[in-house]
Structure 1
Amino acid sequence: MGTADNETLSPAPSSPAPSFSQRREWSQDQAISYLMAQGIENPDCLSLAAGFVDFETLPVELSRKAYAELLDDPQTARKYLQYGTTAGSDRLRDQLIKHLAKLEETTVEELGIDRNQLVLTTGSQQLLAILADVLFDPGDICLVAAPTYFVFLGVLAGVGAEVITVEGDEGGIKVDALEAQLEQLKQEGILSRVKMLYLVSYYENPTGVSVDADRRQPIVDLVTKYSTDHQIVLLEDAAYRELRYDGPKLPSLWSCDPTHSQVVLAQTFSKSFAPGFRTGFGVLPKSLVQPVIDRKGNEDFGSSHFNQNLIATVLERGWYEDHVFEVCENYQKKRDAMLAALAEEFSDLQQEVSWFVPHGGLYVWLSVPEKLETGFNSELFAYATNVEKVMYVPGQLCYPHAERKNQMRLSFGVLNPDGIRLGIARLANSIRHSLK
């Protein structure tokens, strides 16, 4: 039947909004999403912000060779194209034990672990998120160095964890400050809420700082000492471990835990090989293996089986080490270009602008006069992105409560040396403008 001319249709009632979980509320408005959006909305900006790897060093030919080898025999290829296990490819985990022994400069036998303590993940970021899920209830405490990796701060916020910072310097987190903080929490009767100490141990994101060699064993010993009624997990994020350009070789924190019961070692192939394969791994205390696998099983029951076996092929054929050498040579040139540009562009502001010189990784940490703020809503950020067309990561994102507002993270990962020099010149212009 038609509608009469004098009849009006009532608007359809709007659907009620979903009732979101508390974890959804905790995880909203994350800085990483805003930064990604800024990059898309400002395509003409030179990015000193993106923590991406260098486009030109991505291993196209190596990947093509490994891909062809995996698909050469149809029967074997179908195995790689099938589901794997939640813990990950046995083949890659066996290769990783050999690879880890090389990094630790020891033998597979002396390493003291087997493949059952390794879990393969979708990048190391997934491992960080799963560990937060299985360890933290709302109100539990995570200790971090100040500043720290801001994306993990978002992960912790998403599970309702309380973050307490521990003072650091150019040698990483301070041992005496860590001990004082743990003792204070013990005296306050809340040590039982401390579930984790999180450290980026090599060429830290965001500062480029590494934990000094002589601090590593004392840090592990302290965490062990204060693990009284429950274990405080020391999560060592070693995402940048293999991007070393000069400076001392450093033992892992994990190697300072002879029982391998206190420290989780998280590494990834995203920075050293290719992020597109999204392959990372964790070396876990035996007590954490099943909880992590159970939680991962709920999410994806296993990361990409094909990608894991491609990485295994690259390791088996000896192609990986040569690639990492080339990557490090390239990044060292770009780091040096950034440091030289900073020295040139800020030659007249050396008393007001300072930066840390990293021995590896992808980042330089810059401090400007305290009267300047670097945040998204600051005059400096607006002028840099809209006028000078250069972008950086505001340093306050790397503190849980934005304790410092006059710092920034600069990445030399994406731009070539000429682009880096131009980006630093634009940044210097922005800072000078804001200092007027």
Structure 2
Amino acid sequence: MPREIRINAFDMNCVGHIQQGLWTHPRDQSTRYTDISYWTDYARRLEAGLFDGIFFADVIGVYDVLGGSPDAAVKNAVQVPVNDPMMLIPAMASVTQHLGFGVTANLTYEQPFQFARRMSTLDHLTRGRIGWNIVTGYLDSAARAAGFTQQMAHDDRYDMADEFMSLVTALWEGSWDDDAVIRDKARGIYADAAKVRVIHHAGKQYKVDAMHLSEPSPQRTPVLYQAGASERGTRFAATHAECVFMNGQKQPAVKQAVQELRQAAAQQGRAASDIKVFLGATIVTGATEQEAQDKFEDYKRYANSEAALVHAAASLGIDFYKYDIDEPIETKSNAIQSNVAAMTRAAGPQWTRRKLLDQLVMGSRQPPWVGSGEAIARKMIEWCDAADVDGFNLSRTVVPECFDDFIAHVVPQLQERGAFKTSYQSGTLRGKLFGRDRRASTSA
């Protein structure tokens, strides 16, 4: 019997997310991103299709690495303009009962005490369906926006993140006892002050002496997502993360990365079941193989290679316009090191702008999976078995039809093979994913 595959939609509160240029397709509705009804309709569609959640990416700063200017990013809507994804979640939660919400927040530019309250508030308002994707950032433009000259060094960002996690975890888990809130109207006592305590933290980056302002939420700590795949990022994920997002690569590389992650987690005293691994995937599907191929050819006509280079340059930390089309590119960078490593594996150590452009099939470095619902279902099951991944974050192409197509054609095939749920379980997001409402290390 195959494992139950977990499925998240992968999106961003903007026009152009991963597949650059597809917002220009006549059926795409992503230019409605400022309309709350767009997002509530989106949530209803995903829940009707039994998606586990929607995973919101976010970025602080603009993509100004290519050519040393943000102009191409602005012109092509490459993740700019971009609005705050947290603001969408209460509205989407209000029209759903089960859909989970993973939201990206860059801790480098967050104040831990206030951030902890914001996440507790979302956990209350969603009735325990919130998750946090922990990122440390990779854009110098974000650092400049926050008043710094440039971003911190890669490993230093993770050192700061470790301290941030220690502090917010103490606020979420240690400030209020489970039974502190009694809501006794007759005596006029809402909470027992003896069961609420001040958190004292004095570290290299942060100093806090305060009680957490929010009463205990359904999960207390949000489900923790993380996507770091460098050596330092893997160590951080093995320590803190419950769900790890990996970019699409060749299967042997993913399998090795998953093995290394689970081994690192074991060294932290964690079980393999404490971590769910989600693989990024882009899917174009239809009722038949031919229908899927026709749709793929249609989508490709709208892909924008310049916009894709803008995104790639920022995430790799390399200005490709400094190199001739066939000139080998220097890959040393302080951006997302795992992206640089993945590109090197895909194109070889001497990769060029031409090699990169050859990979930008549909406006992104992520090659799409194209096929009938049956073919895609079989491929997903095979990936889970061969690479030990637990689910997929599905990048949008043309919305909403890309998710409508997946729900119509792939979900029934997965269900027929016993690899996807036929109904939701009750409970929190963590309860649905792991069978418990609290983190394993803090459960009573």
TM-score above 0.5, yes or no: no
TM range (shorter): under 0.3
- Give the TM-score of the pair, scaled to structure 2: 0.24
- Give the TM-score of the pair, scaled to structure 1: 0.24
